[in-house]
Amino acid sequence: MYTDLPEEQLHGYRSAVREPADFDQFWAGTLAEARDARWPVRVEPVTTGLVSIDVFDVTFPGFAGQPVRGWLRVPHGAGMALPTVVQYAGYGGGRGHPLENLLWAAAGFVHLQMDTRGQGSGWSRGATPDPGAAGPEAPGVTTRGIADPRTYYYRRLITDAVRAVDAVRTLPVVDPTRVAVLGHSQGGGLALAAGALAPGVRAVVALVPFLCDIPRAIVATDARPYREIRDYLAIHRDAEERVLATLAYVDGVNFARRCRRPTRYSVALMDDIVPPSTVYAAVNAHAGPTELSVWRYNGHEAGGIDDDEAALRFLGEHLAEGAEPIRPAVGRRSGAELRSG
């Protein structure tokens, strides 16, 4: 069933999420510190048995120069610098197995699947630890270090996401002017943040993005991961103001306000994990051109393979040589509402 506001109210929904006065300085300082820890990206070939895709084990410097892993998949025999997709995993997932997730390389893109620090044991494998701050937290990672934006888990993970773009743009097989970021749920939230913060990003795909309009999300759904924040506040009853102040630094609405890259969103109206209004909050705050698919009869899986097909078309357009911003067009397809503007 529908889990949020009526559809006609969703279209005009605007978030009231606060914007910290030092938001831009916070992220500029965080990224400058991460970039000061300079060491070469390590790329090691992996034997997979594939004949059309070459796979490499990548390690690059993330938050505070800490090593972050990833799989780099390259169309076999690539003789020129190619357009590239950097992908981020959903909550609980990591970079997975080297034989998984071959769509983007099969379509002719270089594909970097970033690992997720401290996760990668929920539904796919990971190999990157999170040596960040400890402290009282609810089970999961959404409240890790939440008492202060400087120690918060998502400060580290968002920095990793930006540094993944920095890293991939240094590789000879990558055209540094044609890089996109993509993800579903938590990965969509990271893609939106990277689209706002990372130089060189040309397009963004944020499918049912997590971490948008967080103050509304934690009272609009009983599902995890947002439930972790609510559980924390149910015990730390005096921490609400401090916690909401921390969350404002990682809220996708604040990144959307700064993201001028063409961005494709999707939203599912029966999603009980990422409330639909929180996705509309980011879409309606977005500073650049957007395209939106609305899946009326789906939950958190959203459009599934149909979202992938649309993303493939979208990235093909925007990562092409000499690509223009998305054309203003309106149409309907497969139960999805497409909107540009």
Examine the residue annotation and report whether 266 is marked as an active-site residue of this protein: no
| 312 membership: H or E segment, kind and range | helix 305-318
pLDDT at position 325 is: 40
One digit per residue, pLDDT tens: the chain, 341 residues? 898 999 999 999 999 998 999 999 999 999 999 999 889 999 999 999 999 999 999 999 999 999 999 999 999 988 889 999 999 999 999 999 999 999 999 999 999 999 999 997 776 788 898 987 667 787 889 999 999 999 999 999 999 999 999 999 999 999 999 999 999 999 999 999 999 999 999 999 999 999 999 999 999 999 999 999 999 999 999 999 999 999 999 999 999 999 999 999 999 999 999 999 999 999 999 999 999 999 999 999 999 999 999 999 999 999 997 654 433 322 223 333 444 33
Domain 13-264 in CATH 3.30.70.250:
no
Residue 226 CA to chain centroid, in angstroms? 16
Q: Please say whether the beta carbons of 175 and 84 come within 8 A.
A: yes
Query: How do the domains of the chain map onto residue ranges?
Result: 13-264
pLDDT at position 134 is: 67
Identified catalytic residue from 11, 57, 175, 300: 300
Give just the sign of the alpha carbon dihedral 144, 145, 146, 151: negative
Indicate the Cα dihedral angle 209, 75, 116, 194, nearest 10°.
-50
Identified catalytic residue from 185, 266, 277, 293: 185
CA-closest candidate to residue 305, choices 220, 230, 207 = 207
Take residue 187 and report the two structure tokens written for it.
Answer: 């990965």
pLDDT at position 154 is: 98
In the DSSP assignment, the letter for residue 93 is -
Identified catalytic residue from 111, 271, 286, 318: 271
Examine the residue annotation and report whether 76 is marked as an active-site residue of this protein: no
Q: How far apart are CA 68 and CA 134, in angstroms?
A: 19
pLDDT at position 129 is: 86
Examine the residue annotation and report whether 15 is marked as an active-site residue of this protein: no
pLDDT at position 3 is: 87
